[in-house]
Structures are given as structure tokens and as C-alpha cells.
């Protein structure tokens, strides 16, 4: 596993993808890691960094997909080319890539790690759910995607004969898990440190507290 | 002057390389029984600080002594400070009695966690009882909620404390967009840059009351912050919340501290000890 590094890197661009923002940062000596791993991004003017899974890893770049809904993500989305921020990662456990017949399942901003994952698995089919056509513009980030729009849910269209790798809101992950108990699921929680120091990011899964930053964010329930 | 981590802010078994950047490593608080900690959400950022409601998650005394402590001793080539917590005088005493390993340099009595419901006995009472059984130096970690820090410090000193750690987090709350508390527990411990003025005042008051060593912590982000605490009378400084942003903070703060002391005209950071006390004017009530 690659060793996490913390480096101050320059912003190359912030591009709109539907309502989301794609933050493209110069990669420097930072390893992109495995799809599903995440990075702590310094959010200018905020006390804590923000955990973001890697969305795209073109040569020399790290790309992060953000939904600017709070002060931290808004500060990140307001960065301009040439601004610098600390990037710390890769952190946590990513998706296992030894899968046959994979299906990528994403909901909303939870599609963030899937473009990088899609590339690593040579573009398997993906099933993505969004709340509007505008949000669904983000589906263009990965090829071979089928899109459903609310009120249709990804679980309405989920085939049963696939190895599922999913990321999305908690109710979606719970619903996916109920249908596909072996699915690899990428969870989310508020985090402070990202490296196992603070015990802040626990989630309760099947009655057990898991520190998402070091035991996840990708967990396989079975 | 030693640079320590604030208890609870660093799991050395997960991040031993970070723990090794400090002069001594302070464990998370150990309680008699295993604690899962509070349910999520446990973390909330605010404009100038953060709230946590971890709730003293720890493996419990027996597992700590049998598993955690030997592993820490083998992985971390630094003196270990063990933070001890509990809900009765007896809880503290029984843990202190068993902390006999040579790697344990010091015991810090956590008398001030804001994230558990049970009120501990009075700080001085716990210190006095632990002093009778502990074979290690005892530091009393006190709350910033004390109205008269001088009185608090005199009380734990009279009870036999060898030093004081100040301060723990302040109790705080935050609301989400729908006006519900962000933390599942409702309230948590407030830490980060917002705490710095509180700590400076606490250390000034404590230093007027005692000559004991003081480990000062709360909102330290830079070497300048650490130097200000030394100027108020801190003998040691601890880093907490800043570690979440910058795991390399200890190395950076140490370098900044030396440079800032030199810039102001001190040969060493320690030479600034108490500098802020000299210029405080005493005003009669």
C-alpha cells in the first residue's frame, strides 16, 4: 500500500459538472492510491480539512468531485487556478479490484470515486442515481453508465448477478446491501483527522463501531 | 520545555510515526471498563474550532494493561504518559496502582472530560487518593470551566499533584441546518483556535498560584502560540486539534517556536518563561 504524504499543491482548475465542482490539483509526489481511498484536503479558512475520495487521476493530476453544500466544500469550490492547498493521502482502504462481472453503483455526489474505479476495472457497467437531470450531468464522468432519476431508485434497476461496488447516501447503501449482501460499500462520515487519531468518524454497522478512516471507507459487510 | 500531544487526540498504535515526533506520548484516557464511546455523529466543525463527543472510547483497564501498554512501549521510543479516567475515586486509584511499568513516565488524571455524564468526585479528593498509591508523578488535568483557576490549582497541589495539565475542552454545542444538534450526544468538547485566549488566561492565573510544572494546551497551531503559553508560565505545551489538520505539527511547531523566540530576542524558548506575568498590573478589587 502506498504511503500517505502531505504536500502543498497548486490548483489547476475548478470546473462545473452539473451542480458539482471538479477540483483539479497538481499531483506532485502524492500517490493517487487505490480507487475508494481518500485524501484530506485543506479547506481554506476552516479549522478541519475535508475528506474527499479521488475521482480522477490523469497524469500529473488529482481530481476531486465536490458538492459545495457547506462552508468547507464551498471554500474548496471557490479555489482558483494557482491557489495552493495541503493535500494528505491516500488514506483508508479502497475497493478490492479482484472482482468478476463488476457493477458500479452510485448515488448523487457518491459517484465521486467511481470514475477512477471505472478506469481501474476497464470500464464495467455503472448504474447511477440522481435527484435531477442537472445532477445527472455528472454521469458524463464515467463511460458505460445507466442513469436513473428520482423517483426511480438504483435499487429498482439493480441486477442480481453482479458484484456490486457502491458509493452513495446511507439509505442507498443500506438498500443495496439488503439486495446484495456481498457488495463493497464506500461509506461517509464527518471526519477530523483521516488517519485514525481521533476516533471521530465511527459509523455503527451491524452493532459494531467502525472507524471509517482506517477500517473503511470501503467496507464489505459479509 | 517538552512538546506533548493532548490526550485523546492521537492513537499511537494507528499512527506511531506521529507519536514519535513528540517528547512524550500521552495516551487516550483509560477507564476501568471498556467503552465503545458515544454514538455518531461525534465530530462537528464550527467557525473557529471543533466539537467532539468521542466519549472516552477505550479498551478498558485490563486490556490496556495487558495489550495496549506493552504494544505502546515496544512501538514508541518515548516516555509514556497514561491518561487515567473514572467515575469514582476508587476507579482512579485502582488504575494508578497498576501503572508500574518503567515506560510509564507519568500519570495524567483526567478530571475534566465533558463527554461523559457521571460527575467525578472532587478533583482534589481524587488526586489525594491516587497520590497515596501511585508510584509515578501525577498531573491533574483540569477543566477550563473553573471560575477561579488559582483556587483549583492550589487545591490539587495541596492534595499532592506533581503538575497540572490545562485545559481540557470547553463544553459546547452546534446546530445543523434544521436546528437540530449536530452531535448525536447534543453537546461536546470545544477545541481548536477559539480556545487559545481561554488557555492563556488559565495559565496566567495558575502560574500566579503555583510553582508546579504546567502542561498548557488549547488552540496551539503555531510556534508563536506555544511561545505565548510559555510566556504565561507554561513549562510544557501540548498539541491537540492541530494534529487533525497537520500530522507533522510537532516538528513544525518546534522549529517555529525556536525561530520566534530568537526573533523576539530570547536565546531559547524557555527564556520567555513567565514574561507575560511581569507586565501584568495588579488592580485592587
Give residue B16's domain range. 3-38+56-171+198-276
Q: List the grid coordinates of A73.
A: 466544500
Q: Which of B59, B98, B94, B101 is nearest to B80 (CA)?
A: B101
Size of the A and B interface in Cβ pairs below 8 Å: 92
Average pLDDT of the segment spanning A135-156? 95
| CATH number of residue B165's parent domain | 3.20.20.70
Q: Which of A114-128, B62-76, B118-132, B148-162 has the lowest mean pLDDT?
A: B118-132
Average pLDDT of the segment spanning B88-100? 95
Sketch the domain layout of chain A as residue ranges.
5-91, 102-220
| DSSP sequence for B169-205 | PEEE--B-TTSSBSSTTS-EEEESGGGHHHHHHHHHH
Contacts of B244 in chain A (CB under 8 A): 48-49, 192-194, 197-198
Check residue B115 and give its pLDDT. 63
* pLDDT over 70, % of chain A: 99
Q: List the grid coordinates of B276.
A: 507575560
Q: For the range B89-92, what are the long-range contacts, defined as Cβ-Cβ under 8 Å and sequence gap of 24 or more?
A: B89/B121, B89/B125, B89/B126, B89/B129, B91/B31, B91/B32, B92/B126, B92/B129, B92/B130
Average pLDDT of the segment spanning A115-132? 97
A197 and B9: CB-CB below 8 Å?
yes
Check residue A207 and give its pLDDT. 81
Q: Residue B113 domain-assigned?
A: yes
Q: Identify the residue among B21, B37, B45 best suited for mutation to test binding to A, counting A beta carbons within 10 A and taking the highest.
A: B45
Check residue B285 and give its pLDDT. 47
User: B204 and B232 in contact (C-beta within 8 Å)?
Assistant: yes
Catalytic site positions of B:
113
What is the spatial distance between Cα A137 and Cα A109, in angstroms, rounded to a whole number?
Answer: 11
For the stretch A126-140, pLDDT in tens is 999 999 999 999 999
B245 and A49: CB-CB below 8 Å?
yes
Q: Which of B27, B23, B54, B284 is nearest to B169 (CA)?
A: B54
Average of per-residue pLDDT values in chain B: 94
SS (H, E, C) B97-149: HHCCCCCEEEEEEECCCCCCCCCCCCHHHHHHHHHHHCCCCEEEEECCCCCCH
Q: Identify the residue among A202, A204, A207 best suited for mutation to test binding to B, counting B beta carbons within 10 A and taking the highest.
A: A202
**Is the model's pLDDT at A191 over the cut of 60?**
yes
* pLDDT over 90, % of chain A: 90
Average pLDDT of the segment spanning A161-172? 95
Q: Residue B26 domain-assigned?
A: yes
ipTM over 0.85: yes
For the stretch A63-111, pLDDT in tens is 999 999 999 999 999 999 999 999 999 999 999 999 999 999 999 999 9
Average pLDDT of the segment spanning A35-39? 98
Question: Given 2.40.10.350, 3.40.50.720, 3.50.50.60, 2.40.30.10, which CATH number is that of A5-91?
Answer: 2.40.30.10
What is the side-by-side strand order in the sheet with A184-186?
Answer: A145-149, A126-130, A102-107, A163-167, A184-186, A218-220
E strand intervals along chain A: 5-17, 20-26, 38-41, 50-53, 61-66, 84-91, 102-107, 126-130, 145-149, 163-167, 184-186, 202-205, 208-211, 218-220
**Is the model's pLDDT at A27 over the cut of 90?**
yes
**Is the model's pLDDT at B284 over the cut of 70?**
no
Q: How many domains does chain B have?
A: 1
**Is the model's pLDDT at B215 over the cut of 80?**
yes
User: B233 and B277 in contact (C-beta within 8 Å)?
Assistant: yes
Q: Residue B48 domain-assigned?
A: no
Q: Residue B271 domain-assigned?
A: yes
Q: Residue B231 domain-assigned?
A: yes
For the stretch B229-268, pLDDT in tens is 999 999 999 999 999 999 999 999 999 999 999 999 999 9
Q: pLDDT band for position B219 (50/70/90)?
A: very high
Place of cell 500529473: A60
3-state SS assignment for residue A48: coil
User: B4 and B235 in contact (C-beta within 8 Å)?
Assistant: no
CB-nearest to B247 from A190, A195, A214 is A195
pTM passes above 0.90:
yes
B43 and A197: CB-CB below 8 Å?
no
Residue B39 touches chain A, beta carbons under 8 Å = yes
CB-nearest to A192 from B15, B50, B57 is B50
CATH topology of domain A102-220: Rossmann fold (3.40.50)
Amino acid at each position: 500500500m502506498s504511503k500517505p504524504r502531505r504536500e502543498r499543491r497548486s490548483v489547476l482548475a475548478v470546473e462545473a459538472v452539473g451542480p458539482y465542482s471538479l477540483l483539479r490539483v497538481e499531483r506532485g509526489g502524492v500517490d493517487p492510491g487505490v480507487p475508494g481511498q481518500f485524501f484530506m484536503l485543506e479547506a481554506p479558512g476552516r479549522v478541519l480539512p475535508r475528506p474527499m475520495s479521488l475521482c480522477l487521476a490523469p497524469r500529473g493530476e488529482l481530481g476531486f468531485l465536490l458538492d459545495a453544500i457547506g462552508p468547507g466544500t464551498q471554500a474548496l469550490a471557490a479555489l482558483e487556478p494557482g491557489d495552493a492547498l495541503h493535500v494528505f493521502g491516500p488514506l483508508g482502504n479502497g475497493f478490492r479490484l479482484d472482482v468478476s462481472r463488476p457493477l458500479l453503483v452510485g448515488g448523487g455526489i457518491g459517484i465521486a470515486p467511481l470514475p477512477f474505479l471505472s478506469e481501474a476495472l476497464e470500464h464495467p457497467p455503472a448504474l447511477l442515481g440522481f435527484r435531477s437531470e442537472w445532477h445527472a450531468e455528472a454521469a458524463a464522468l464515467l463511460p458505460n453508465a445507466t442513469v436513473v432519476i428520482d423517483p426511480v431508485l438504483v435499487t429498482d434497476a439493480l441486477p442480481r448477478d453482479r458484484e456490486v461496488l457502491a458509493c452513495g447516501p446511507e439509505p442507498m447503501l443500506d438498500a443495496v446491501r439488503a439486495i446484495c449482501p456481498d457488495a463493497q460499500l464506500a461509506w461517509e462520515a464527518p471526519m477530523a483527522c483521516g488517519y485514525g487519531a481521533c476516533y471521530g468518524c465511527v459509523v455503527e454497522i451491524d452493532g459494531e463501531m467502525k472507524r471509517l478512516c482506517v477500517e473503511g471507507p470501503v467496507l464489505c459487510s459479509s | 520545555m517538552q512538546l506533548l500531544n493532548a490526550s485523546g487526540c492521537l492513537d499511537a498504535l494507528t499512527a506511531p510515526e506521529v507519536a514519535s515526533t513528540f517528547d512524550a506520548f500521552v495516551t487516550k484516557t483509560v477507564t476501568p471498563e471498556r467503552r465503545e464511546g458515544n454514538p455518531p455523529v461525534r465530530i462537528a466543525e464550527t467557525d473557529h474550532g471543533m466539537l467532539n463527543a468521542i466519549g472516552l472510547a477505550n479498551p478498558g483497564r485490563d486490556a490496556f494493561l495487558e495489550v495496549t501498554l506493552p504494544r505502546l512501549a515496544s512501538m514508541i521510543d518515548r516516555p509514556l504518559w497514561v491518561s487515567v479516567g473514572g467515575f469514582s475515586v476508587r476507579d482512579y486509584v485502582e488504575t494508578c496502582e497498576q501503572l508500574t511499568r518503567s515506560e510509564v513516565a507519568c500519570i495524567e488524571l483526567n478530571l475534566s472530560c465533558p463527554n461523559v455524564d457521571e460527575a467525578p468526585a472532587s478533583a482534589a479528593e481524587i488526586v489525594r487518593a491516587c497520590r497515596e498509591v501511585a508510584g509515578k508523578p501525577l498531573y491533574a488535568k483540569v477543566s477550563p470551566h473553573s471560575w477561579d483557576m488559582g483556587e483549583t490549582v492550589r487545591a490539587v497541589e495541596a492534595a499532592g499533584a506533581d503538575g497540572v495539565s490545562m485545559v481540557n475542552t470547553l463544553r459546547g454545542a452546534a446546530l445543523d441546518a434544521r436546528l437540530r444538534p449536530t452531535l448525536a450526544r447534543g453537546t461536546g468538547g470545544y477545541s481548536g483556535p477559539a480556545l487559545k485566549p481561554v488557555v492563556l488566561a488559565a495559565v496566567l492565573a495558575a502560574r500566579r498560584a503555583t510553582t508546579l510544572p504546567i502542561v498548557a494546551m488549547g488552540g496551539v497551531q503555531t510556534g508563536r502560540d506555544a511561545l505565548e503559553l510559555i510566556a504565561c508560565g507554561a513549562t510544557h505545551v501540548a498539541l491537540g486539534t492541530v494534529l487533525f489538520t497537520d500530522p507533522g505539527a510537532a516538528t513544525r511547531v518546534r522549529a517555529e517556536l525556536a525561530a520566534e523566540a530568537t526573533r523576539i530576542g530570547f536565546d531559547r524558548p524557555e527564556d520567555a518563561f513567565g514574561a507575560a506575568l511581569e507586565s501584568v498590573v495588579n488592580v485592587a478589587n
